[in-house]
Amino acid sequence: MQLHFKESGQGRALILLHGLFGSSDNWHHIALRLAENFHVFALDQRNHGQSPHRDEMNYSLMAIDVNEFMASRGIETAFVIGHSMGGKTAMQFALQFPQRVEKIVVADMAPRAYAPEHEKILAALLALDLKIYSSRTEMENALEPKIPSLVLRRFLLKNLGRDSGGKFFWKMNLSALAGNYPKLGEEISSKEPFKKPALFIRAGKSNYINAEDETRIRELFPQSQIQTVAGAGHWLHADQPAEFLRLVLDFL
């Protein structure tokens, strides 16, 4: 597995991991700011962005992907920041390869299992016949009955590419995401905790990290702290980038 990545800055290595349906592009503005202090690597996780497609997908494999990426670049240790699905990858990576990680930051994600919330989105995208559309706007309109949020539709359609003949295709591996989706909702567990510093940043307008999650977070990450960005939804690094960066930089 050779993950696609975007690189910027100099200094100690910092790895950024995006969420479901996302890509390294989601971190663009945050990466530019972090690159003032760190050597930043924004990765496309497997089956996303420009990274390779594989039928298998789970957090242990995705942690191995990050480990292989670091080995291929000669990176001994790194800070790791992950949002949503990327947050679970970051947790799994820290627990599975603790010697590789200096500190982790997890953005609006807990280690618990989550109920399936994206099945309707996956079904709508799989049902979209790309051959019959000539523009993204047409597809935005076609998806509206199943996905009412225009912001969400536009985010999802960032995953479209065009081939040399001008035909649309999905850059992400939709069939693998759908087939492995139950695994992406599974809890993160470990016999041994991650004993180095960890920061969990909760979005104030989200329920992804609730009061009941704090006990399990501190069991797996005993040196963790939990901070809240009050005015942000789940995409807290886009909703409140200045506050998100302040918390991250203070912690790192």
Would residue 190 show up in a list of annotated catalytic residues for this protein?
Answer: no
**What's the CA gap between 44 and 52, in Å, rounded?**
9
Q: Which tokens is 228 given? A: 């809240």
Q: Which of 84, 206, 224, 237 is catalytic?
A: 84
What is the C-alpha separation between 12 and 210, in angstroms, rounded? Answer: 32
119 in helix, strand or coil? helix
Contacts of residue 166, Cβ cutoff 8 Å, sequence gap at least 6: none
Q: Of 170, 134, 157, 164, which Cα lies nearest the Cα of 50?
A: 170
Instruction: Write the secondary structure of 40-75 as one string of H (helix), E (strand) and C (coil).
Output: EEEECCCCCCCCCCCCCCCHHHHHHHHHHHHHHHCC
Residues 78, 100: Cα–Cα separation, whole Å: 6
Strands 160-162 and 78-83, sheet pairing: unpaired
Is residue 210 within 8 A of residue 217, CB to CB? The reply is no
Which helix (DSSP H) or strand (DSSP E) does residue 154 occupy?
helix 150-157
84 noted as active-site residue = yes
Q: Which residues are catalytic?
A: 84, 234
